């Protein structure tokens, strides 16, 4: 019933005028400009949240477009420093040219990660669809080999390959492995991914357990109670949690602007009350803050690729007091 209703809301929303989509998206997108993103982060900083900033836009058609993203992320770093924000960077590898020209794409990413390292800032490589899964992981491995360890990837619980990827990265990166784990928004074919909700949750939970056992830093990116409850249970089992040093002997020392081996991450505007509850309990919580001129494309894509967002849109519209951002 909920799935049917969500799909209906999405089908209606994507056919609405652009002004209506903007009204809906303002909850989930900081705005069109960097100033908009800074304003949102300053407001949420008062609650104790930290952030990862994403400049909207991904797969590009020319390497000239990649220069825009590199330049814009340099502006983001400068703004983080200027306003003393507790924030790091999230980038789409395809926006830096990884699919068009892998060598130049890697060079662009390396330039940004090196500058971020000089500013003691972390860079997260977002995971896009299955065409770039291997390439994205390889970028992280190459940069770590070069001594740039302030970079990590996202892995998607729904993919069949994810546990094998965790085990491979554990062997190759050791205690420097650093992940964001999420269910994954891309609706991949059954041949390479789980497609049922219960299977996706089970696979995501298994990934969280494996990452924590391996001593990795784990950004638990989920709004789903079954995933969050599983993570909390695993943390308790390992003796990890608020106010505690990371007790895992196979884990790296706590990094600057990081939690004690883990943190919870949520999208801007989604399950604000749950985020604040976790924060009140002492858990480090990070908000994913997207901004940019591609706000419309981003909003439509997320709606189409993950129709379950429809129920959240309807709830925010009909009962905004129940889900303050």
Q: What is the pLDDT of residue 318?
A: 45
Q: What is the mean pLDDT of residues 228-250?
A: 97
> pTM score, two decimals?
0.88
DSSP state, residue 159? B
Per-residue pLDDT reduced to its tens digit, 99-113: 999 999 999 999 999
Query: Is residue 302 one of the residues assigned to a domain?
Result: no
Rounded CA Rg of the chain: 19
Residue 25: domain span? 1-29+308-325
Which of 157, 234, 142, 239 lies closest to 194 in space, CA to CA? 157
Which range, 59-68, 206-215, 313-322, has the best average confidence (pLDDT)?
206-215
d(CA 305, CA 303): 6
Give the dihedral sign, CA 220/226/229/234.
negative
Residues 22 and 167 in one domain: no
Per-residue pLDDT reduced to its tens digit, 22-79: 656 667 888 889 999 999 999 999 999 999 999 997 778 899 999 999 999 999 999 9
Q: Does 304 or 255 have the greater pLDDT score?
A: 255
Residues 5 and 130 in one domain: no
Return the C-alpha torsion angle 122, 126, 132, 138, nearest 10: 20
d(CA 123, CA 113): 6
The lowest-confidence range among 115-119, 226-230, 299-303 is 299-303
Q: Which residues have CB under 8 Å from 281's CB, separation 6+?
A: 242
Query: Is residue 93 one of the residues assigned to a domain?
Result: yes
* Element containing residue 221 per DSSP (H, E): strand 217-221
Q: How confident is the model at residue 1 (pLDDT cuts 50, 70, 90)?
A: very low
Query: Is residue 297 one of the residues assigned to a domain?
Result: no
Q: What is the pLDDT of residue 60?
A: 87
Per-residue pLDDT reduced to its tens digit, 183-199: 998 888 999 999 999 99
Number of separate domains in the chain: 2
Q: How confident is the model at residue 9 (pLDDT cuts 50, 70, 90)?
A: low
Residues 23 and 37 in one domain: no
CB 182 within 8 A of CB 156: yes
Residues 166 and 61 in one domain: yes
């Amino acid at each position: 019933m909920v799935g049917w209703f969500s799909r209906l809301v999405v089908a209606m929303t994507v056919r609405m005028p652009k002004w209506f989509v903007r009204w809906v998206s303002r909850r989930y997108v900081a705005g069109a400009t960097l100033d908009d993103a800074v304003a949102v982060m300053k407001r949420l900083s008062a609650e104790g949240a930290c952030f990862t900033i994403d400049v909207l836009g991904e797969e590009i058609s020319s390497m000239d477009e990649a220069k825009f993203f590199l330049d814009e992320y340099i502006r983001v770093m400068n703004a983080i420093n200027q306003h003393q924000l507790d924030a790091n960077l999230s980038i789409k590898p395809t926006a830096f040219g990884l699919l068009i020209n892998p060598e130049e794409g890697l060079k662009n990413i390396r330039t940004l990660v090196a500058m971020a390292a000089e500013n003691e800032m972390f860079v997260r490589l977002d995971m896009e669809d299955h065409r770039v899964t291997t390439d994205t992981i390889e970028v992280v491995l190459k940069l770590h080999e070069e001594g740039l360890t302030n970079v990590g990837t996202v892995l998607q619980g729904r993919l069949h390959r994810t546990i094998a990827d965790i085990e491979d990265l554990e062997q190759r990166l050791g205690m420097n492995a650093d992940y964001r784990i999420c269910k994954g928004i891309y609706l991949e074919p059954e041949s390479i991914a789980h497609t049922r909700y219960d299977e996706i949750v089970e696979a995501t939970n298994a990934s969280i357990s494996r990452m924590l056992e391996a001593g990795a830093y784990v950004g638990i990116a989920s709004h789903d109670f079954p995933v969050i409850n599983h993570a909390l249970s695993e943390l308790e089992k390992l003796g990890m949690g608020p106010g505690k040093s990371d007790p895992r002997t196979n884990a790296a020392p706590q990094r600057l602007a990081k939690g004690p081996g883990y943190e919870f991450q949520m999208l801007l505007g989604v399950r604000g009350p749950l985020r604040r509850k976790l924060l009140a309990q002492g858990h480090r919580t990070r908000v994913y803050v997207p901004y940019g001129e591609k706000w419309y494309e981003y909003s439509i894509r997320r709606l189409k690729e993950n129709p379950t967002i429809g129920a959240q849109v309807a709830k925010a519209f009909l009962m905004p007091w129940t889900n303050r951002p």
